[in-house]
Structure 1
Amino acid sequence: MTRTGTTGHDRAGGGTGAPASGGLDAHLVVDRGTFRLDLALTAAPGEVVALLGPNGAGKSTALRALAGLAPLTGGHLHLDGTELTHRPPESRPVGVVFQDYLLFPHLTALDNVAFGPRCRGATKARARAAAAAWLDRMGLAEHAGAKPRRLSGGQAQRVALARALATDPRLLLLDEPLAALDARTRLDVRAQLRRHLAVFEAVAVLVTHDPLDAMVLADRLVVVEHGRVVQEGTPRDIARHPRTDYIARLVGLNLRTGRAEGRTVRLDDGPTVTTTEDLTGRVFVAFPPDAVTLHGSRPTGSGARNLWHCRVAGMETHGDRIRVDLTGELPLAADLTTVAAAELGLHPGTEVWASLEAARAHAYPA
């Protein structure tokens, strides 16, 4: 994300910790029945961090803990050097945009936005003036007198964001902020949200299931599974080097583990793969489904080093291509054009040969 001035990611030394002068420094421990969240999270002022993970991973619990809506059973929460662990939600310098926005239905857009400043002690006139300025900044000045039921989904999302920002929060929490929007509106609102976050000077934490939202909006991704961090880094790093099956599926890659001897990797589930990297020891091997070519019979005279006998387990439309799930010698996914799939006569149970260019298979240390 392009920001004005120095980015939070730069200030945080690559996102490894919040500086002493400000930002977020949290160790969130929440016990809820048999589930335990144990998550260390830091961010510098100006940095946007996205929490990604499957359902039940603990993302929303982490967000509620940051907001003060879920009490910590251990750990700590510091924001700009101030201890917030035991401070009630209403006294924290935190703004929240919920998935369903939770606008007050009986208030106008203007009064929804003014609500936060009023709760912080601003006079009615001052709060309404600040709210009007925020609505203008969001391109909603002409909707100031509208109640939520008269707003579109995109307009309601921007009112909710304005309400969260009107209190000048030092921590902005975004809980699936685009999930309630249709595909077309989501595209527009995502671009608008990106512009607002690019100039936000405090810390923002985004929870999302959508990898595109995370890749577009965040400086750093923190992937959570079973209440713990399994990987974190820049969107580019995580997209190129996934370390769990969940992340690989998220970014659309086949992922396997094995042991490398030079450019040959003996996979844990059987066959070998020739890759571009010269490594030794435990590695991950990742390659995109569109790097896999399917053949109706074993290619004659083929010099392909990566060639496996497989069976079609299932097929589904994936964008403008057909995603083919394969079992057999090496379970994997392949992307084909509809023409290629038709020419091969594919259906569940069809036996095929799958080949992979070594140049498209990348290995990296496990």
Structure 2
Amino acid sequence: MTAAVSGAPAGLDARLVVDRGDFRLDVALTAAPGDVVALLGPNGAGKTTALRALAGLVPLTGGHLRLDGASLERTRPESRPVGVVFQDYLLFPHLTALDNVAFGPRCQGVGKAEARAQATVWLERMGLSAHTGAKPRRLSGGQAQRVALARALATRPRLLLLDEPLAALDARTRLEVRAELRRHLAEFEAVAVLVTHDPLDAMVLADRLIVVEDGLTVQEGSPSDIARRPRTDYIARLVGLNLYQGRADGHTVRLDSGPSLTTTEDLSGPVFVAFPPSAVTLHRDRPTATSARNLWRCEVAGLESYGDQIRADLTGELPLAADLTTVAAAELGLHPGTEIWATVKAAQTHAYPV
């Protein structure tokens, strides 16, 4: 195991540069002990490549990788103080839950009896005392996930990597295991890096988000800041906002796409403007008695159900998404091709500098 440099800052300090054919990853990552950082992005963005580079499974072609002050670039994967929870858990099918968890300490030179004793403690912490003798095929998805997490933690890593840790679970189990995972990560004293394409996993589990698109960081910050101030269409869709870019002159923003928006913020220069689909009110006829400062003529391009809500995809003067109840959608007689008027109050928009 690589020793930390005396007096060096603890935590992770990395710039991951990986060239693979036509794809280039270039992402910076810093985190202090106790931090949980989520790499969030669409498929093919480079999230898994970044995780594999941290684990030593993909070599860097540039940049650096330091953990607790020690350089890991030339350190073999098995010698790094890193624990990994893979998307499919990759438990050893011929070993019991107990021996799966004991495997890590055994590889570190711990005797069989002591490694099993340590594994027993970890399984107790995961609420799996009754399943120590079960092999993976006898475990539920949630139980297998907890065994995989216990196996990663049993080596007492200084960096914990989680690759889509909840992706293999059904919706009901995912809700329960997400809450458990949040508790375990809150107790973890080193750095944890989570890779996911699910914004809810990222928002619930992480202290800080790094959004990656096409191999580059496009936004970084707390979950609340990113949810409130998205800077790309991908992020806006993730957090459920309509997002536009334009130039502000006081309370008026002239959008790059043509029309103008009225906002409550008094700004000047390049800005983003965002508002939720729930802020949009639809009318079959041009409204005459409305306090909304923003009004556009649109056409319904598509309709989609979201629980008890209908999401209307609108084109026209301003392409946007609008949410309304099924009753309202029926009363308006909405269907693809319907001409509609959309209004948004200035108070429900949010403008911020680019």
Q: Match for residue 309 of structure 2?
A: 321
Q: Give the distance between the partners of 2:323 and 2:257, measured in 1 at CA.
A: 22
The answer to whether structure 1 residue 357 and structure 2 residue 348 are counterparts is: no
**Aligned residue type for 2:172:** R
Alignment of 1:102-117 (within 5 A): 102-117=90-105
Q: Match for residue 65 of structure 1?
A: 53
Alignment of 1:32-71 (within 5 A): 32-71=20-59
Q: Give the distance between the partners of 2:94 and 2:292, measured in 1 at CA.
A: 67
Q: Match for residue 293 of structure 2?
A: 305
Q: Secondary structure at the match of 2:18?
A: strand
Percent identity of the aligned residues? 81
Q: Secondary structure at the match of 1:65?
A: helix
- Which stretch shifts more, 172-181 or 296-305? 296-305
Q: Match for residue 31 of structure 1?
A: 19
Q: Give the distance between the partners of 1:236 and 1:145, measured in 2 at CA.
A: 42
Q: Give the distance between the partners of 2:169 and 2:308, measured in 1 at CA.
A: 23
- Kindly state the Cα deviation for residue 21 of structure 1 after the two structures are TM-superposed: 2.2
Q: Match for residue 140 of structure 2?
A: 152
Residue number among 62, 80, 83 corresponding to 1:92 in the alignment: 80
Deviations 1:271-296 (A, max 9, x none): 11111110000000000000000000
Q: Give the distance between the partners of 2:23 and 2:348, measured in 1 at CA.
A: 39
**Aligned residue type for 1:311:** E
- Kindly state the Cα deviation for residue 59 of structure 1 after the two structures are TM-superposed: 0.2
- Kindly state the Cα deviation for residue 303 of structure 1 after the two structures are TM-superposed: 4.3
Q: Secondary structure at the match of 1:336?
A: strand
TM-score (structure 2 length as normaliser): 0.97
- Kindly state the Cα deviation for residue 320 of structure 1 after the two structures are TM-superposed: 2.1
The answer to whether structure 1 residue 80 and structure 2 residue 65 are counterparts is: no
- Kindly state the Cα deviation for residue 20 of structure 1 after the two structures are TM-superposed: 4.3
**Aligned residue type for 2:38:** A
Q: Match for residue 198 of structure 2?
A: 210
Q: Give the distance between the partners of 2:158 and 2:111, measured in 1 at CA.
A: 21
Q: Give the distance between the partners of 2:128 and 2:292, measured in 1 at CA.
A: 59
- Kindly state the Cα deviation for residue 301 of structure 1 after the two structures are TM-superposed: 3.9
**Aligned residue type for 1:161:** L
**Aligned residue type for 2:56:** G
TM-score (structure 1 length as normaliser): 0.94
Q: Give the distance between the partners of 1:20 and 1:208, measured in 2 at CA.
A: 30
Residue number among 335, 342, 348 corresponding to 2:336 in the alignment: 348
Which blocks of at least 5 consecutive residues in structure 1 are unaligned? 1-18
Deviations 1:209-240 (A, max 9, x none): 11111111000000000101000000000000
**Aligned residue type for 1:74:** G
- Which stretch shifts more, 32-41 or 294-303? 294-303
Q: Secondary structure at the match of 1:189?
A: helix
Q: Match for residue 338 of structure 1?
A: 326
Q: Give the distance between the partners of 1:279 and 1:183, measured in 2 at CA.
A: 43
Which blocks of at least 5 consecutive residues in structure 2 are unaligned? 1-6
Residue number among 277, 283, 286 corresponding to 1:295 in the alignment: 283
Q: Match for residue 164 of structure 1?
A: 152
- Kindly state the Cα deviation for residue 300 of structure 1 after the two structures are TM-superposed: 2.1
Q: Match for residue 111 of structure 2?
A: 123
Q: Give the distance between the partners of 1:167 and 1:120, measured in 2 at CA.
A: 8
- Kindly state the Cα deviation for residue 304 of structure 1 after the two structures are TM-superposed: 2.7
- Kindly state the Cα deviation for residue 45 of structure 1 after the two structures are TM-superposed: 0.4
8 Å CA contact retained: 2:247, 2:269: yes
**Aligned residue type for 2:87:** Q
**Aligned residue type for 1:326:** L
Q: Give the distance between the partners of 2:292 and 2:173, measured in 1 at CA.
A: 45
Give the aligned CA root-mean-square deviation in angstroms: 0.9
Q: Secondary structure at the match of 2:147?
A: helix
8 Å CA contact retained: 2:291, 2:345: no
**Aligned residue type for 1:79:** L
Q: Secondary structure at the match of 2:200?
A: helix
Alignment of 1:170-319 (within 5 A): 170-319=158-307
Number of residue pairs matched by the alignment = 348
Residue number among 116, 119, 127 corresponding to 1:139 in the alignment: 127
- Kindly state the Cα deviation for residue 111 of structure 1 after the two structures are TM-superposed: 0.3
